[in-house]
Structure 1
Amino acid sequence: MATEGFEPYRSAYAEQVARLADIRDKRIEQAFAAVPREAFLPPPPWSVVSMGIAMQTSDVAEIYNNVLVAIDRERGINNGEPALHAAWIDAVHPKPNESVIHVGAGLGYYTAILALLVQPSGHVEAFEYETDLAAQAARNLASYSNVAVHAASAFGRTLPQADIIYVNAGVVAPDVEWIRALNPGGRLIFPWQPHEGWGPALLVTRRAGGFSTQSLMTVGFISCSGTTEKPLVAHLPTEADLAAVRSVWIKGDRSPDSSAIAVYDEVWFSSDRIGD
């Protein structure tokens, strides 16, 4: 559909999102104002969800609010809440010329925002497991020369080195390859969901002494397709356990010890802090 003439909606929406997310980087507001959300959605009428209430609309003004918009209701796939994504993007703080891996790109809306933030020489490798969505995302992002879309899972594969890995699908544990792919100072953000359907959004930062973690908020995301890790049957971490996590380790680098909170096949979470 045509995207001209909606700039006032996008500007007000970007201001709203920036305020709700309390972002530090003004460039994020500018990116939200620049990317036409309607260009990265299915054709109207749209199914919009606000505060748990769903409605159908063909009014572009309605999608320029802090609302979820369904991409495929049967598969549970949506264009996520803008303020949540603005907060996550602010947390990973994309800088010009950095490299990004976007896991679970959907139709490419947040991929486009990330792509703007790493210009002029940065690039985004976008992975979308659902082949039909990946094909549409590639079309939607055709004008973004610094984006490559891959119709594949980003789980269980060697990835290029990256400054940011931005994961929009819930996982029982992060893929060890995501951690290995982080450049020094690199940031990984993902929904850690050891319990079915919910868990903390974790920010992982590669430091000289290891991989520090910070819990940002409790979230619920659709599960990441193509994952291999299974829930810990013997000991699911409690809410207190989740809050106590301060670092994540690759088993080959350090074996689990008395600080371990959750242990998986290739990675484990620890209550030990990592120094700078």
Structure 2
Amino acid sequence: MQGMSNTASETYRSEYAEQIARLTDLRDRRIEQAFATVPRENFLPPPPWTAISVGIATRTSDVAGIYDNVLVAIDRKRGINNGEPALHAAWLDEVCPQAGETVIHVGAGLGYYTAILASLVEPHGCVEAYEYEADLAAQASQNLRAYSHVKVHGESAFGRPLPKADVIYVNAGVMAPDVEWLKALKPGGRLIFPWQPHEGWGPAIMVRRLEGGFSATPLMTVGFISCSGTEDEHASKSLPNEADLASVRSIWPTSERLPDETAVAVYDQVWFSSGVVGS
């Protein structure tokens, strides 16, 4: 920012990255380094910014105000934010992107977490970033122009074949994951997404492609803006309750395995099971 030295910005970022690492008890210290390196202000609208913490919004033009574990509004009318850094750090620690891997980022927004992902797969990796909102996709392309290994797609990542990927990182809530996401995972690939069968909330689900199927692990409860450009899918039975959500251990394409007595929630193309892969 004009009037602020690079040294001051680097100091803010370093302290912020240390804070995020403490809050999440990071195992992969490369993630801390990525947060310390990528300038958050380069992936936000111009100041003044609106920082949001525990539902309280604060307007600030001081860059120090965005180097904290806060949401920062991108478009409040549309409910679009630059998400909470500690949550993303925890997710990144779960999916563990590695140098040379291919990542699909669904719901890239203005590209901040895309840039974090891009830094984690260097060298020789790549990120395919999808953003349905045309104005955000155009701005993300500009914000990420220095990242030659990132390609921004101004379209939905739902309902279409996708490139084969080691990691699929979804930053928009869905009633059910797209079966194409499962198909795109390479052996050993990881998918993390907010499963929101109840309006506005649900567990983050960590999926791994194993030899015998797709394991699924519920993580923390989250609330994300719904994925744009999707067709609603409705469960064929009553919505899963909290105990059902916590019991999920695998997910299956209906084309590969039909629902059985372990089914927790059944959708047109995928279903969630309380049974483990291999059972």
Task: State the TM-score, normalized to the length of structure 1.
Answer: 0.98
For residue 114 of structure 2, the aligned residue among 104, 111, 118 is 111
Listed as ranges, the gaps of 5+ residues in structure 2 are none
Corresponding residue number in structure 1 for 2:28: 25
Corresponding residue number in structure 2 for 1:46: 49
Task: State the TM-score, normalized to the length of structure 2.
Answer: 0.97
Corresponding residue number in structure 2 for 1:242: 245
Deviation at 1:23, TM superposition (A): 1.0
Q: Deviations over 1:227-261 (max 9, x none)?
A: 12323374000000000000000011000011111
Matches within 5 A, 1:243-262: 243-262=246-265
Corresponding residue number in structure 2 for 1:37: 40
Q: Deviations over 1:91-149 (max 9, x none)?
A: 00011000000000000000000000000000000000000000000000000011000
Listed as ranges, the gaps of 5+ residues in structure 1 are none
For residue 84 of structure 1, the aligned residue among 82, 87, 95 is 87
Corresponding residue number in structure 2 for 1:231: 234
Corresponding residue number in structure 1 for 2:213: 210
Q: Deviations over 1:37-90 (max 9, x none)?
A: 000000000011112211100010010000000000000000000000000000
Deviation at 1:275, TM superposition (A): 4.7
Corresponding residue number in structure 1 for 2:276: 273
Return closer, same or farther for 1:253/1:73 CA change in 2, 3 Å cut-off.
Answer: same
| Distance in 1 between residues matched to 2:52 and 2:234, nearest whole Å | 30
Corresponding residue number in structure 2 for 1:13: 16
Asked if structure 1 preserves the Cα contact closer than 8 Å seen for 2:236 and 2:266, the reply is no
Asked if structure 2 preserves the Cα contact closer than 8 Å seen for 1:44 and 1:58, the reply is yes
| Distance in 2 between residues matched to 1:19 and 1:197, nearest whole Å | 28
AA matched with 1:64: Y
| Distance in 1 between residues matched to 2:264 and 2:15, nearest whole Å | 43
Corresponding residue number in structure 1 for 2:164: 161
Runs of 4+ with >2 A deviation: 1-5, 229-234
SS of 1:54's equivalent in the other structure is strand
Asked if structure 2 preserves the Cα contact closer than 8 Å seen for 1:207 and 1:275, the reply is no
CA RMSD of aligned residues (A): 1.2
| Distance in 2 between residues matched to 1:26 and 1:49, nearest whole Å | 26
Asked if structure 2 preserves the Cα contact closer than 8 Å seen for 1:170 and 1:191, the reply is yes
Asked if structure 2 preserves the Cα contact closer than 8 Å seen for 1:48 and 1:55, the reply is yes
SS of 2:108's equivalent in the other structure is coil
Asked if structure 2 preserves the Cα contact closer than 8 Å seen for 1:97 and 1:122, the reply is yes
